Chain A
Amino acid sequence: MTSTLEPSRKGSAVVRPGDRIFAGLSTGAGLAILVVLAGVAAFLTIEGIPGITASPDEVKSGKAFLPFVWPLVYGTLLAAVIALLIAVPVAIGVALFISHYSPRRLGQLLGYLVDLLAAVPSVVYGLWGIQFLAPNMAPAYKWLEDNLGFIPFFAGPAASGGRTILTVSIVLAVMILPIMTAICREIFLQTPRLHEEAALALGATRWEMARLAIFPYARSGIVSAAMLGLGRALGETLAVAMVLSVGVGSTVTANLISNDNPNTIAANIALIFPEASGLTVNALIASGLVLFVITFLVNFAARAIVDRRKEFSGAN
């Protein structure tokens, strides 16, 4: 017995070629992600620093970097956060309807339709926003100004063309809806039957079952879905550039329904870049770096939220 064990203890363990190849491939893939990410970060930093340090009269905006980028950061976050506020409840509702309420056939059909929404190019959403949504929202903005004008969000003057940051947020909400709905739906469907039955046997209605068994189980998935949606909303360029009417002074304002809106980082780069030269280009790249950092922070925050209640996640 000892004689058969002895050699394997001394020599290294046998490694099959298949294992070695697969380990190499997956390690390579993991490293490739890191290399690409580091490359992008390095490019943005190196090219961006001259833009950050440039003096106001050297760039087209005529401002130092912070006053230049701050309204853009504000506009980016404002549009994305409002889009998320609109899209999250709708996505959860649609996903829950598809997974637990609708008859199976109807649910499948709805699922396909939602997936189809994800395939619409953003230029089409932009056209829809500018040609259909904006003019149709204009009367609503007027009404908001007249009746709820005391709230800073709706202070007015209402944009007669309707090309406001609120319109942009609605377009963004429609754009991020499919991916969020698809993720939520998949996670809701994975809720263990055992937990659903536990809730039902206690006398839960379907909505109470959703609150007791489905939502807690799906919590981290919902956060992930929201973060993916937020990521897309933060970075969306074309639809925003087409729809949004940007204020002359790049204003930072809580007003959601006027013509005087802060631009977003991505849309600003797309608008300015074709005619930019010299340090203006560096300033734009630096604003891209800021967007990169914001997206990073958003993802970290999402991880932290998911991790905080790990022991209660049902994974243990």
Chain B
Amino acid sequence: MAKSIDVSDLNIYYGDFLAVEDVTIPIAAKSVTAFIGPSGCGKSTFLRSLNRMHEVIRGARVEGKVLIDGQDLYGSDMDPVNVRRMIGMVFQRPNPFPTMSIYDNVLAGQKLNSKRMKKAESDDIVERSLRSAGLWAEVKDRLDRPGSGLSGGQQQRLCIARAISVEPEVLLMDEPCSALDPISTSVIEDLIHELKTQYTIVIVTHNMQQAARVSDETAFFNLSGVGKPGRLIEVGRTETIFSNPQDPATEAYIQGRFG
């Protein structure tokens, strides 16, 4: 559990369009890395390339290497389905399966791995995952109710529980709080702190304070103009990036002069 990620010279294309250019970044195991930057700078695209979710869009492809503990994600023997089973993802808008109960939502990933489980065993996984996601106390009496009946913040924590129930190596979060109220946001930020003892977490956020609060490392992405590819400008310890950035663009963005 919890593996490191090593990205070197990664270019991401949509058809002929170069969306993200030449990213090299090491991500340590059991740490929280935040991606910040203005809209359209490719941080979400880059995040989705870490579990090959960007391939859902026709014509998407990459050049370069992504290594998970030395294993090449884009190797010819790698099935994207297996990659995604290993690397969990939480989306911008909460997306529990509306037709499933809370219980079945948590177990959705387990069922895909087509393990036959005893009732006691699956009960166990549901409770453990919901506890880790900080949702157990709120839903333990209504596990058979539809997941779509929960509030937005609860739905997002249900999605986190669903993602971690299969014990992934890495957890990717694509602006997980941008659709939530401040209270739910702070609950999820606390959760990220707890989860990083077990998982490698990569989070995209538009909210610089959030990056400062939750992350160990911060990576700043930028683009030089509309239609130009996004680039990784600099990456380092979160304190350093926020107090003493190397690049003038990073400083300008952090001080709120653009973006």
Within the complex, the shortest CB–CB distance from B22 to chain A, in Å, comes to 26
Cα of A208 to Cα of B108 in the assembled complex, Å: 10
Does residue B100 face the partner (Cβ distance < 8 Å to A)? Answer: yes
Interface size on B, residues (CB 8 A): 32
Does residue A60 face the partner (Cβ distance < 8 Å to B)? Answer: no
Cα of A204 to Cα of B149 in the assembled complex, Å: 24
User: Apart from A192-B95, A203-B112, what are 15 other A-B pairs with CB-CB below 8 Å?
Assistant: A194-B93, A197-B56, A197-B95, A198-B96, A200-B53, A200-B56, A201-B91, A202-B85, A202-B88, A203-B82, A212-B108, A212-B112, A216-B99, A216-B100, A314-B99
Cα of A208 to Cα of B114 in the assembled complex, Å: 11
Asked if A314 contacts B108 (CB within 8 A), the reply is no
- Give the A-B contact count at a CB cut-off of 8 A: 83
Asked if A312 contacts B98 (CB within 8 A), the reply is yes
Q: Kindly identify, within residues 188 to 217 of chain A, every residue whose CB is under 8 Å from any CB belonging to chain B.
A: 192, 194-205, 208, 212-213, 216-217
Asked if B148 contacts A314 (CB within 8 A), the reply is yes
11 CB-based A-B contacts, threshold 8 Å: A192-B95, A197-B53, A197-B95, A198-B162, A201-B53, A202-B85, A203-B109, A203-B112, A208-B112, A316-B98, A316-B146
* A195 and B112 contact, Cβ closer than 8 Å, known pairs A201-B53, A201-B88: no
Does residue B125 face the partner (Cβ distance < 8 Å to A)? Answer: no
Does residue B68 face the partner (Cβ distance < 8 Å to A)? Answer: no
Cα of A285 to Cα of B89 in the assembled complex, Å: 62
Binding site for A on B (CB under 8 A): 51, 53, 56, 81-86, 88-89, 91, 93, 95-101, 108-109, 112-113, 145-146, 148-149, 159, 162-163, 166
Q: Mark A208-248, 1 if CB is under 8 A from B, else 0.
A: 10001100110100000000000000000000000000000
Asked if A217 contacts B99 (CB within 8 A), the reply is yes
Q: Which 6 A-B pairs have the closest CB atoms?
A: A314-B98, A203-B85, A216-B99, A201-B89, A203-B84, A194-B95
